[in-house]
Chain A
Amino acid sequence: MNEWIIETKGLSKRYKGRYAVSNLNLKIAKGDIYGFLGPNGAGKTTTIRMLLGLIKPSNGSVHIFGKALNKERLSILRRVGSLVEYPSYYGHLSATDNLEAIRRIIEAPKARIAEVLSIVGLSKEARRPVKGFSLGMKQRLGIASALLGNPELLLLDEPTNGLDPSGILEIRELIKQMPKQHGITVLISSHLLSEVELTAGTVGIIRQGELVFQDTIANLHQQAQGSMSLVVSDPEQAHITLRQHGIEAVHRGNTLLLEQTSDHTVARIVRTLVERKHDIYRVEEKRKTLEELFLQIVGEGTQL
């Protein structure tokens, strides 16, 4: 029995012969914040709708809390809070009544309504009909609804959509607290790596329906470490020399590109080349930012 809170195997959704999501193997650990990233139309919302049983997968399976979604949907949903795409609301009801309409179904304690309203900073607007709310306020209400039932798992589809900078910060802080304070697992989708970079422990990157990266943020940082480029007088000879010393480099023009960038390795490379009478004109580090790496992953489609 593994500890995955969410595990999908070969999860796929086909629309008229086109795969919106294809062969997705998500693994989300308990207490993790999982950043689910991808550009427009990548399949994030489609995946989340499948995780919630709103649509049926064309292929593959979903297990949440170790239970099969297609068999035990209701007992799973009892422990899940969610916000899908844009927030749902009843315009003619106040924020309090919107939450009350949900509360009557999930049978949460009445006091929880005021609690979640204050968590998302809507206490003052609680009595106003929601149709007069701004997008950001509706979004906050949506987050409040997701929190109402004290869920163990939160599925948030672009939760900061439409929020102002301070709202984004508040929600980010809120999400950060979830695993620490309540042991909640969170899946949060976004277009931007920067948005989840500071909160997420793991990221999954989806592109055209396929999961092209799934690893910890730390490992992503590792990938972003970039490379060293050396400009030398005789690159061909230098390339051979380095290979003899067991160092792999790529030879391009008068430059050598090296993957290893630790201080120790760089020092050894430079020393070796100098000892063999190579002139070294430049030693440069090419550092990719996480965002560049992310854009590369989603843009070019180079599988990592």
Chain B
Amino acid sequence: MNGFLRIVASERLKLSKSYIWILLLISPLLSLVIGVFLSLESFGAANRLEEYALLASTMSSFHAMLFLPILTGILSAFVCRYEHAGGGWKQLLTLPVSRVSLYLAKFSVIAILLALTQLLFLVAVIAAAASHGITDGLPWRLLLTSIGSGWLACLPLAALQLFVSISWSSFAAPLVINVMLTIPNMLIVNSDKIGPYYPWAQPMLAMLSFSDQDFGAFALPLETLLITVTGSFTLFLVIGLLYFKRKEI
């Protein structure tokens, strides 16, 4: 545990001198712009709460359908990037740290950065709502659960992408594949057969199942989603760890 925290401290230094934080801002900012310019009146919402629900689900689907999965891939590649480029794996693994701690530290950094994005997105939703004059009576519980479960649903994908990024010394290749597999989201989220099992679609399914109760095919039973999320997360993390433990450096 001590080793793990020391590595995280070291990772923080490496990332603090990079421009990674700009990436964290992109999706919340774009969502904010969309939210502010969304014309709520044209949908003929019955009341303020419905207007809010519409706003939140529009922003969420935009954020979670494309940006969140893509960002997850970018962050996974990013935490491996400096090691691949400068021979850092070799150096890190000759320090007194276990491979498991190092792997988990890298994963945690991705998870923390994703959590930051989600928090920024939360701020964006609140700000967009305020711009439409909706300040009171926000369904906080729903909003926070949506943000939180969206984050959780990113973790299997993060574990999968970290595995790919570590095993592949190229920075760009895992990203391209990630983007290619993210794009079909627009179709896959509509399928309640494939959707829950498709790691790239899980963030969106998770976020939308809270933002609006009557969203047709999106509204999946939460348990189903959580079970597949937990299951695939464990699977991908274990595969990655086993691979990394044996990897020749």
Interface string of B16-40 (1 = CB under 8 A from A): 0110000000000000000000000
CB-CB under 8 A from B96, the residues of chain A are 74-75, 77-78, 105-106
- List residues 26-81 of chain B with CB under 8 A from any CB of chain A: none
State whether B248 touches A77 (Cβ < 8 A): no
Whether, in the assembled complex, B9 has its beta carbon less than 8 Å from a beta carbon of chain A, the answer is yes
A121 CB, min distance to chain B CBs, angstroms: 21
- Chain A's closest residue to B246 (CB) is A56
- A107 contacts the other chain (Cβ, under 8 Å)? yes
CA distance A100 to B98 in the complex (A): 19
Smallest CB gap from B88: residue in A: A88
Q: How far is the CA of A230 from the CA of B93 in the complex (A)?
A: 59
Q: Which of B7, B17, B88 contacts A97 (CB 8 A)?
A: B17
- Given known pairs A54-B93, A77-B96, the reply for A90 and B10 (CB within 8 Å) is no
Q: Which single member of A80, A100, A107 contacts B94 (CB below 8 Å)?
A: A80
Q: How far is the CA of A85 from the CA of B3 in the complex (A)?
A: 26
B99 → chain A closest CB, angstroms: 9
Q: B10 contacts which chain A residues (CB < 8 A)? A: 101-102, 104-105
Query: Does B94 contact A54, Cβ atoms closer than 8 Å?
Result: yes
Q: Is B187 an interface residue (CB 8 A)?
A: no
Q: Which residues of A contact B7 (CB under 8 A)?
A: 105
Contacts of B94 in A (CB 8 A): 52-54, 77, 80, 82, 84
Specify which of B85, B91, B249 is in contact with A102 (CB 8 Å cutoff). Answer: B91
Bound together, the chains give a CA A224 to CA B249 distance in angstroms of: 39
B137 lies within 8 A of chain A by Cβ: no
| Residues of chain A from 86 to 135 with CB closer than 8 A to chain B in the complex | 86-93, 97, 100-102, 104-107
* Category for how many chain A residues contact B: 20 to 34
Q: Are A104 and B90 touching (Cβ within 8 A)?
A: no
Contact B82 A54, beta carbon cutoff 8 Å: no
Which of A74, A75, A89 interacts with B87 by CB under 8 Å?
A89
Contact, CB under 8 Å: A53 / B93: yes
Chain B residues positioned under 8 Å from A54 (CB to CB): 90, 93-94, 248-249
Partner of B13, one of A49, A52, A53, A97: A97
> Does A250 sit within 8 A of B, measured CB to CB?
no
225-248 of chain A: CB within 8 A of chain B: none
Render A47-74 as a binary contact track against B, CB cut-off 8 A, 1 for contact: 0010011111000000000000000001
Q: Which residues of B contact A105 (CB under 8 A)?
A: 3, 6-7, 9-10, 92, 95-97
A145 part of interface (Cβ distance < 8 Å) = yes
- Complex Cα gap A91–B81 (Å): 11
A92: contacting residue among B3, B17, B98, B248, CB under 8 A: B17
**In the complex, A91→B85 CA distance in Å?**
8
Beta-carbon contact of B6 and A107 below 8 Å: yes
B57 to chain A, nearest CB (A): 39
Given A77-B94, A88-B90, A93-B17, A104 and B82 contact (CB-CB distance below 8 Å): no
Q: Can you name the residue of chain B whose Cβ is closest to the Cβ of A80? A: B94
A:177-230 near B, CB below 8 Å? none
With A54-B249, A105-B95 known as contacts, the answer to whether A86 contacts B17 (CB < 8 A) is: no
State which of B13, B91, B246, B249 has its C-beta within 8 Å of the C-beta of A104.
B13
Q: Which residues of A contact B98 (CB under 8 A)?
A: 74
Whole-angstrom distance between the alpha carbons of A20 and B70 in the complex?
41
A262–B179 alpha-carbon span in the complex (Å):
78
A104 contacts which chain B residues (CB < 8 A)? Answer: 6, 9-10, 13
**Scoring A residues 24 to 64 as 1 if CB is less than 8 Å from chain B, else 0, what string do you get?**
00000000000000000000000001001111100000000
B248 touches A90 (CB 8 A): no
Q: Which residues of B contact A49 (CB under 8 A)?
A: 249
Does A101 contact B14, Cβ atoms closer than 8 Å? yes
The contact of B97 among A74, A80, A84, by CB within 8 Å, is: A74
By a CB distance below 8 angstroms, the chain B residues around A80 are 94
B216 part of interface (Cβ distance < 8 Å): no
- With contacts A52-B94, A54-B94, A77-B96 taken as known, whether A88 is within 8 angstroms of B87 at the C-beta atoms is yes
Kindly state whether residue B133 has any CB partner on chain A within 8 Å.
Answer: no
Closest A-B pairs by Cβ, 5 of them: A88-B91, A88-B87, A78-B96, A54-B249, A104-B10
Given A52-B94, A53-B93, A90-B14, 15 other A-B contacts at CB below 8 A?
A54-B248, A55-B248, A56-B248, A75-B96, A82-B94, A86-B87, A88-B86, A89-B87, A92-B17, A101-B10, A102-B91, A105-B3, A105-B10, A105-B95, A105-B96
